[in-house]
Structures are given as C-alpha cells and as structure tokens.
Amino acid sequence: MSTLLSKEFMRRLDGISLLLRKPVAGHLRGQHRSRKTGVGMVFSDYRPYSSGDDVRNLDWATYMRLDRLVLRMFEEEADTPIYILIDNSASMGRDDSGKFEMAKKFAAVLAYVGLLNHDRVSLISFSDGMVKEMPGRRGKNQMWRAMHFLESLKNEGETHLGNTFRKYFGAGRTRGLVFIISDFLFEQPIEESFRPIVQYGHEVFATHVIDEEEEDPNIDGHVVLVDSETREALSAHVTEGTLAAYRSEFDKHRENTEAFFNRSGWGYVSLRTNDDFENSVLTSLKKEGIFR
C-alpha cells in the first residue's frame, strides 16, 4: 500500500487510537469525547436534579443511599477533526531521506491510526504559507489517498508557520487536534509564529524532527555554509571552539522549543533521524498519552 510504512508496522498500529488531553466540541460519530452532555456513551459526572430534567437519568442508588436526587451526566462520543501539518520547506532536507522522510513517515502513522478509527483526517504541507492540502477524509479506504499525498510532497521555500495558521485555520475550521511536524528552524520567534493558532482553541502536538548532522556536525577548517532556504552563503573557518559554541546554541534552540510547548500546555516530542523510527514513535506517543 505504501513505501512509507511497512505492512508489519501497520499491523502493530492496528487497535491503537488517538487521544485528546481535553474534550473538544464535536459532532457526528467518532472516538473522542465532546463537551456536549446528555444521554450518551461515557459517564461524566453527577449534578443535582432540577425540575424538567429527564428522570431516566436519575441515579436511584444515590437517592436510596443519600436521600438526594442527582442526575447522571454523560459525554457523547464525538467526531474530532485531526489536522496533520508537515513542514516541506527546504531546510527539511532531500525529498527521500533525512528529516523530510521521517516527517512523512510520522504523518503517515498519524493518518493511518486516525483513518482506521474513523476520525476525519486532513493533511497540509507548508513552507511560506499553505502549499498543498488533502481535505478531511474518514475511513480506512481513504488510506491510499493519504499515502499518495505524502509520497508526492517535495521540498520548497522558506518556513513561515504564522502565515500557514492564518491562511488555513483562519477559515473557520472546526476545533480539533493539530499535529505539527517540523524542524522548527525559522527566523520568526516561536511565540509569534504560533500566536494565530492560540485564538482558535485547537489542541496542538508538536513533533520536532532533528538531523544528527545538524545537531553535531562533522566539519572543520575553511568551509562555505549555504542556507538551504534562502541560498545565502557564508564563508567561515570552523574550529573546535566554533563547533562547541554551535552545539550549545543548537541545544538551547531545542530546549527553548520544548519549553514553549510545555508552557502552552501542548504536547511535544523530538525524533532524530538516526533513531529506530518505529519503536521511537510508538514509545514517545504512548508516553505522551497520544496513543492508547
């Protein structure tokens, strides 16, 4: 079915579902809880009985025990949109290897699990604004479409998350779960980039893709460094002291990125291109409470 995920790995994903950390407003059917309360599938809480309430939801056991009329409240199982955003800017590397390949594989995992559980899944690639979109689809029979979309993506342009959020989510999208897969290498301050999405009330989960060569480069002497997005060149003489300072700045960037998502109450994981992809994905997402 796909060059991104092996049949064996997809079998490991069967039976897994995506979880939200908080309920969102929803409709239709699906695997997530909405804030609507009433007769439903999942018990939520009790509240005092008021005149006019549906007496079928009275908890008679509590009445017999405490001589108080209380109503059992339920949360509906609701369809929650899943938006998967993939950074396809030039800094993500070549089309068929490294960070970009890992990003596409990670997006394929999320799409597979979402579609398998009948969630509405949208795929969006971005660099300087929205580049390409697979509109919301539901059901396992749409998996071929999602894989074709991901396999067809190419690298291009500079990264501008703020533009993407304004263009895509500014169109009144239903509140849901937003996955962002990126190297987060862009000039704009991360707080400024994410400001447009804060007001929309989505739950956000970030996947930080890191290339081990960028984290710990093996270079020395005179080199010419070329910005993969702007194509600007810089001539430099690299020493061990230069590399130590670079590694320190790179670590600080990763730590600041993670700290931002933690402060915002959003999820965050980092994946390195030299990781065992399948085991790293399953372990990290289960640990973060995204998979069950």
Mean predicted lDDT score pLDDT of the chain:
83
> Whole-model pTM?
0.79
CA angle 127, 278, 7 (to 5 degrees): 100
DSSP 3-state assignment of 89? Answer: coil
In a domain, 171, yes or no: yes
Nearest of 202, 197, 215 to residue 275 by alpha carbon = 215
| Structure token digits, residue 105 | 């594989």
How much is the pLDDT for 234? 87
- CB of 155 closer than 8 Å to CB of 126: no
Residue predicted with more confidence, 248 or 230 = 248
How much is the pLDDT for 164? 87
Q: Are both 61 and 102 inside the same structural domain?
A: no
pLDDT bin (cut points 50, 70, 90) of residue 161 is: confident
CA gap 218, 208 in Å, rounded:
22
CATH code of the domain in which 18 resides: 3.40.50.410
| Statement: residue 86 has pLDDT above 50 | yes
| Statement: residue 171 has pLDDT above 90 | no
**Number of domains forming the structure of the chain:** 2
- Residue 51: domain span: 28-78
- Taking only the tens place, the pLDDT of each residue in 196-235 is 888 888 899 999 999 988 898 888 889 888 877 778 888 9
DSSP 3-state assignment of 203? Answer: strand
242 contacts: CB under 8 Å, gap ≥ 6: 236
- CB of 170 closer than 8 Å to CB of 202: no
- CB of 176 closer than 8 Å to CB of 80: yes
CA gap 292, 274 in Å, rounded:
25
In a domain, 272, yes or no: yes
In a domain, 292, yes or no: no
| Statement: residue 34 has pLDDT above 90 | no
Q: Give the up-direction half-sphere exposure of residue 70: CA atoms within 13 A in the CB hemisphere.
A: 14
Q: Are both 58 and 118 inside the same structural domain?
A: no
Q: Are strands 82-87 and 70-79 parallel, antiparallel or unpaired?
A: unpaired
pLDDT bin (cut points 50, 70, 90) of residue 20 is: low
pLDDT bin (cut points 50, 70, 90) of residue 27 is: very low
Q: Identify the DSSP state of 237.
A: E
CA gap 260, 256 in Å, rounded:
6
pLDDT bin (cut points 50, 70, 90) of residue 52 is: low
CA gap 171, 96 in Å, rounded:
32
Q: Are both 93 and 207 inside the same structural domain?
A: yes
How much is the pLDDT for 37? 46
Domain boundary among 61, 78, 95: 78
Of 37-41, 153-157, 288-292, the range with the lowest mean pLDDT is 37-41
Residue whose tokens read 């909405």: 34
pLDDT bin (cut points 50, 70, 90) of residue 33 is: very low
Q: Are both 85 and 42 inside the same structural domain?
A: no
In a domain, 140, yes or no: yes
